[in-house]
Structure 1
């Protein structure tokens, strides 16, 4: 990445500094500035010496550009070659996400309530052991203790005792541990209140230790290349390639595996617990374990030599064997309970002392049960209970199909963009196409160097990035055409084109990058992959789409020394002769009226029938099944409805060979969601034996609510960020006009989603955020020209100035909208259900944004400018927008 940054900095210097250097070589800065500022229709002869010196790039900069490109191509090359060729290469290909290679993804959450309850319970036990005369009880909310001061002890003494035995949390090499409880005296009692900060510290530490336990458990299960990482303070994301049915791993990861050994007692007392057995009966045991699983040295699945039943053999370490031997000596002829996660799995009668430090756990086990239990015991117990709050599974076949779809959609989009650029700009369109290829390669190289994962939404971001990357080439080519029409000689036209285009390129791309950054920050999973890929593509395009083309133009000027610099289209009839002179502002009232009617109608569609919220926002279960023959939808519906899982929906595609089943969120928490998914899978397998389960998504209520809130925050934050940026870079009328237009654009896209019934989930939010950036991007270029024209024509009436600016940028607006549209069309047509809710709204939104820049944003700006003039805030008779500063 350092090479990319170095080249980008060098490019910026070449745009800015060399034009200044050339001024002195060509007769002084004043003459050069006057030449660069030439307006359309004005012709000034070039100054002596300008044509050969104004655009020269140093050879070291050429070398740097070439080094960056070659390095990027070398890093990206393994990604585009077969795996058997690149296995021994030092550079690995880009890592593929689970939606492309198949596998399972589980999100686990450390239960905060369990952590707090554990701290309170441990403190109560410690105090009871420290002084048996203390009476300790939990507070009503369970987040503290009430300590009754016994006779003969003062409250201060009781407080001092409690403080000395209060558990400490945190601490480290450079940190001091802190007490977990705050103590306060109230009459003859001491109240210990659990600090929320203490729970947070314990939770963070528990997640870190849980990751190690999970890694050990997955290693025991033999899963290759797992990805285990923390997400925030309380969550762990586990991704396992190649796992299509994670039922066994779900049990392996979700179980706490806290193994304890207890004495069984005949009657209940204050020191006993009543625990359930496997058969449903209950037994009373001593609450404090006599021994726990931390002393286990090994565990393995085996078979009872007498009955042949599956059992688990275990062995203690030296200290554990000593304690276990002494314990069994005391309990000969009595029952002894082996407890796993609060349930008695075996309660045998000790026939004789077990002095060898090993034993057997028997019960109504299957072979899979004993294998899982042995793996759990070997890996160790989790420090805190973990709850599975989200589960997503993708079949390997669906992943392969997604790769093929992404490849063909990308190639089709690239071919369409290349055809358009070559048609519009001839040979320089070919140069832009080559720069686009380099952009894709460098984006993939950046993903490899960052260790990022390429997902299906990431491919969508890469494809859309291609459509947006050529925007810079369109701006530069159109600017150079303008300068050439104005009578400038070759080098002057190229230099002025780059100088003036770069500001618009920077402003327009920054608006898209702001939306992309927010999407990466607030998004999750594959959506972040989309944001990263598109963001990298746009950022790298500032180098490839501009510096590469500039270098090619510099070579042209050095070698051929043309008098004028013509950028000819492929066909002569496409050659632009003059700037169009449409009077767009005459249609301003009609445009605003139509837009308002459509937006109001869209709000009505949002209310009824409303959006088709996906599993991301509603929670519940989604299962996609595929078979070679058309499925019997009526039988499947009857079978799933017979499970009494509430509201369900079935949707078929591909002539009935693919079926999407949605089940509403189940009451009873995450366990109920998982049970519902397994029940639906069983029905599908039973009624359609040849069907393959391509995708399973289980989203709990907590996750769905958080995703919905994050989506709303992202859209609101993006809108505010655009307002602030445009206000800072331009003026408040520009910002208000852009945001008002943005609201109208977004409402239309939301209405389109409601009308079409497309799935509204995280990918739809990604589409909205991308459109926010794109919509403002389109308007910034027009605004930049208005700002420039305000300085050049200060007495021009505002209506005429806006019409002039729109006409001057009309070709750019149409061309860049066309390239973005062509990039998205193949994905919208062939992308499939996984990206439909992104690609189709993007196609619609691009059309809306292109029209709104002309017929909505500009009229709003005109009204605000007229209002400012009437208020007399500027005092100008003509244009009332601030010029370039």
Structure 2
């Protein structure tokens, strides 16, 4: 009893020591770590963009660009292959995903189909699994009409290939900027996430990523003036393009490209030796050099155009043949503009347009403020929890605090080892874990105290207390873990960081509670040899309260139902103050460079930009302001255009500390994933509780949890607090916390049902709630202390998140008593269904038919 082998002791302290050692580098700067011995770990937690500053940009590959390009390619292939086969045709055209052509001679239709067979043959998709895909399907209609359709699976294949190619191009462009440790990853079927820590100029990054950078060289058509071609129809083989000048200059350009940017092998920014203006020097490969030499030899004296993404950069006259395979592009560039063009040309062209559909940019100053706020909140919350535990448990509280310190060190070590990114919500997860980790120790201590009060010797009370608390702690923490796992798979960005931190915290909490705390308790007992519970344990005032909770169940249950209905009515009529995550739009946090932020001036200036509804409000101190722009009409690019207008209007007087832009496609996806996330979490928890308890318990837990969700939604409706992506994290965490509380109470009810088969259910429920009252109050108190510190000192960015969490702790405690309990009575849970298993000395549910 209370015996721990040397190997187990060694293992426990080795894990704790390794956790501290691996977490320790986070307390030092990179320069300090370089002076440490080579064996000392150097891996640190990666700070998220909201803590160190930088840009998060989500790019969407325009599927329609792929479809359009494939359509034009197939039309060209049909034309050339029918001509090569000597088959006459008419009416060749392509619209949407369909091309049609009419064969003039009906007898030639089989030959035409055979000539087009190469277009309809399956294409190998490559990869490990191999396989083929049909990109084009051909169908014969009446009067010699052939219809060729681009298949959806073929387009999906082309989109997937284009996305892979685009990622490589994006990676090369970002690397050329010289940024440190950029993250570029694929998301879904048509999106790329680009995260660049520490970036101070997100506008330049977006400009580089937005450009397709398709470079080509064309002859200028001199058969008619460009203005005449604009007013009348230009020649069939030519088109009108415009220059990048201001005002723009039109050019009549031959459609056929002399040479394309695919033949470029290098491009560098330099200065023209004659004018000292910034230019871009380029060099072709051997094939490109040959074609360029031939084209310039044949067209001496004629102007040719250098075209980038359908805009004319310059149109010089060919004075003499260019035979060396190199040249330079001039076009009134700035030094930075020449550098950026060189970056684009070296990185290569994108196969399709990439549209910015989400942007989240944090300035380095705000990132440091967030770190300071998070650290301050963590320290204050930690100190509050430490004193709270010592005040109520004395010696036992010191043990709990040692376990809590080891717990936090192990969380930091795990985050360092897996290379996880710590975000501001992640810090919130650590602070929340501090509050909830106390719950395991409180459960153990209260079990020990109860067993000792029932007459067991202290050594036996400690042993039995740990064993009886184990199942309850596992059940309670697993329900929270289910919510965290769902949050990770269905969440994104900072919400995922919160889920990772919370999940790791749950695992380390269970580990420290049943290894380190048990070892400390055993060591203390062998050292002191006490006969009774320490007098420093001051939770006895909860004993023998015998509060009749169920006597007021009808009133409280009815009141809860009225509030729930009112919350749903308010949600359906008034609605919540949805953030940009769910309705699209922009949030911009600015700070005045001199003096206070003038909110009325900001509103007046931005209202003249034709951006729809514009809100400006104070944020934090009087130098800062938060600007909200409604979702813009005109698709994804309209959001970026609106942001550009705001920057142009305000950046002379204000620093842009934080920018969040969410386009309509992302906001709809987030709304869908948030709804699915809450539903999936509830379903997973329902299955688990149904498996572990009777069906009435599972139903009661879900109804109590739904009550908490509805109440929280009502709170957002009444207060008008912005409901954003972190609010979903708050709701899912409230679900986990509420179920944690409910499961603890249910576990005691189940134990008493096995013990007291003749006791009326109302009395048994009251007895169970009273027996766990000390744990309920102390856990809620410690969690409120931790969250309160986060709310008061954690900064404005997560204020709504922590406010919802604080309300959730209170309502979760209420529902575990006044919702979960009455449900069991309403569905007639019968104590006689439980009987004692005499062979095991334990009370277990009776089997059906027994």
- Which residue of 785, 789, 811 maps to 2:748? 785
Structure-to-structure mapping, 1:190-589, within 5 angstroms: 190-265=146-221, 266=223, 268=234, 270-278=236-244, 280=248, 282-564=250-532, 566=533, 568-569=535-536, 574-576=539-541, 578-589=543-554
Q: 1:682 aligns with which of 648, 653, 662?
A: 648
CA distance in 1, matches of 2:613, 2:76: 47
Compare 335-344 and 831-840 and name the one that shifted more: 335-344
SS of 1:230's partner is: strand
Is the Cα contact below 8 Å between 2:217 and 2:307 reproduced in 1?
Answer: yes
What's 1:666 paired with?
632
Q: Deviations over 1:117-138 (max 9, x none)?
A: 2222222222322222455745
1:72–1:442 CA contact under 8 A, matched in 2: yes
Q: CA deviation at 1:154?
A: 4.5
Residue 550 of structure 1: how far off its partner (Å): 0.9
1:18 alignment partner in structure 2: none
Q: In structure 2, how many angstroms separate the alpha carbons of the residues matched to 1:554 and 1:85? A: 39
Alpha carbons of structure 1 residues 812 and 58: separation in structure 2 relative to 1, 3 Å: same
Which residue of 758, 764, 767 corresponds with 1:801?
Answer: 764
Q: 1:641 aligns with which of 599, 602, 607?
A: 607
How far apart are 1:95 and its partner, in Å?
0.8
* TM-superposed deviation, 1:467: 1.0
Structure 1 residues 153, 407: CA separation in 2 closer, same or farther (over 3 Å shift)?
A: farther
Note if contact 1:463-1:823 (Cα within 8 Å) is conserved in structure 2: yes
- Paired with 1:72 and 1:90, the residues of 2 have a C-alpha distance of 11
Report Cα offsets for 1:746-796 as digits up to 9, x if no partner.
122112122222221101111111111111111011111111111111222
1:276 touches 1:344 (CA, 8 Å); kept in 2?
A: yes
**Distance (Å, rounded) in 1 between the aligned partners of 2:24 and 2:209:** 37
Q: Distance in 2 between matches of 1:648 and 1:577?
A: 54
* 1:245/1:393 contact within 8 Å kept: no
Which stretch of the first structure deviates more once superposed, 767-776 or 163-172? 163-172
- Give, in angstroms, the shift of residue 477 of structure 1: 0.8
Deviation at residue 486 of structure 1 after TM alignment: 1.5
Q: 1:655 to 1:259 in 2, by over 3 A?
A: closer
Q: 1:169·1:198 contact (CA, 8 Å) conserved in 2?
A: no
**After alignment, is 811-820 or 673-682 more displaced?**
673-682
Deviation digits for residues 350-371 of structure 1 (CA, Å, limit 9, x no counterpart): 2321111122223343333222
Q: Does 1:590 align with 2:555?
A: yes
Q: Which runs of 5+ in 2 are unaligned?
A: 225-233, 836-842
How much does 1:568 deviate?
A: 4.2
Q: Is the Cα–Cα contact under 8 Å of residues 171 and 178 in structure 1 kept in the other structure?
A: no
Equivalent residue number for residue 59 of structure 1: 6
Q: 1:837 matched to which residue of 2?
A: 800
Residues 460 and 530 in structure 1, CA contact (< 8 A), matched pair in contact too: yes
Partner of 1:56: helix, strand, or coil?
Answer: coil
Structure 2 SS opposite 1:389: strand
Unpaired segments of 5 or more residues in structure 1?
1-53
In structure 2, relative to structure 1, the CA distance for the partners of 1:602 and 1:87 (3 Å cut) is: farther
Q: Aligned equivalents of 2:537 and 2:293: distance in 1?
A: 91
* Aligned pairs for 1:733-748 within 5 A: 733-748=696-711
| Aligned equivalents of 1:795, 1:193: Cα separation in 2 | 75
Whole-Å separation in 1 of the counterparts to 2:574 and 2:34? 53
CA distance in 2, matches of 1:453, 1:135: 60
TM-score normalised per structure 1: 0.88
- 1:111 is matched with 62
State the distance in 2 between where 1:374 and 1:507 align.
60
1:495, CA displacement in angstroms?
A: 2.2
Shift in CA distance, 408/570, structure 1 to aligned 2, threshold 3 Å: farther
| CA distances 1:473-514 after superposition (whole Å, capped 9, x unpaired) | 111111111111111123322222122111111111111111
Q: Deviations over 1:839-872 (max 9, x none)?
A: 0110011011111111121112211126x79xxx
Is structure 2 residue 553 aligned with structure 1 residue 599?
no
Task: Give the corresponding residue for 1:162.
Answer: 116
Distance 1:179 1:608, change over 3 A: closer
- Distance 1:882-1:722 versus aligned 2 partners, 3 A rule: farther
**How far off its partner does 1:410 sit?**
0.5
Select which of 71, 74, 77 maps to 1:126.
77
State which drifts further: 591-600 or 760-769.
591-600
The more displaced of 738-747 and 817-826 is 738-747
What is the rounded CA distance, in whole Å, between the counterparts of 1:312 and 1:561 in structure 2? 83
Shift of the alpha carbon at 1:523? 0.7
RMSD of equivalent CA atoms: 2.4
How far residue 203 of structure 1 moved from its aligned partner, in angstroms, is 2.4
CA separation in 2, counterparts of 1:363 and 1:240?
A: 30
| 2:100 aligned to which of 146, 149, 160 | 146
Judge conservation of contact 1:244–1:393 (CA < 8 Å) in 2: no
CA distance in structure 2 between the partners assigned to 1:875 and 1:382 by the alignment: 68
1:760 aligns to what SS in structure 2? Answer: coil
- The answer for the alignment partner of 1:721 in structure 2 is 684
Shift, 1:297, TM fit: 1.8
- State whether residues 470 and 819 of structure 1, in contact with CA within 8 Å, keep that contact through their aligned partners in structure 2: yes
Once residues 308 and 291 of structure 2 are traced to their aligned partners in structure 1, the CA distance between those partners, rounded to angstroms, is: 19
* CA 875–408 in structure 1, closer or farther in 2 if over 3 Å, else same: closer
Aligned with residue 75 of structure 1, among 15, 18, 22: 22
Q: 1:406 to 1:305 in 2, by over 3 A?
A: same
Shift of 1:567: 5.0
- CA deviations 1:334-362 (Å, max 9, x no partner) are 33222211222223332321111122223
Offset, 1:272: 4.3
SS in 2 for 1:148: strand
Equivalent residues of 1:169, 1:201 under 8 A apart: no
Cα distance in 1, alignment partners of residues 379 and 491 from structure 2: 27
- Decide whether the 8 Å contact of 1:611 with 1:760 is kept in 2: yes
Is the contact made by 1:158 and 1:190 (CA closer than 8 Å) also made in structure 2? no
SS state at 1:290 partner: strand
Q: CA-to-partner distance for each residue in 1:397-417, whole Å, 9 max, x for gaps?
A: 111111111011001111111
Q: Is the 8 A contact 1:135 1:148 kept in 2?
A: yes
- Deviation, structure 1 residue 719: 2.0
Aligned with residue 716 of structure 2, among 729, 736, 753: 753
Distance in 1 (CA, whole Å) between partners of 2:506 and 2:473 is 11
Kept in 2, the 8 Å contact 1:389–1:670? The answer is: yes
Task: Give yes or no for the alignment of 1:613 onto 2:613.
Answer: no
TM-score of the superposition, structure 2-length normalised? 0.91
Q: Greater CA deviation, 462-471 or 149-158?
A: 149-158
Does the aligned pair in 1 maintain the 2:182–2:197 contact within 8 Å? yes
Alpha-carbon distance between aligned partners in 1 of 2:107 and 2:515, rounded to the nearest angstrom: 82
* Number of residue pairs aligned between Structure 1 and Structure 2: 817
Residue 705 of structure 1 corresponds to 668
Aligned equivalents of 2:141 and 2:500: distance in 1?
Answer: 56
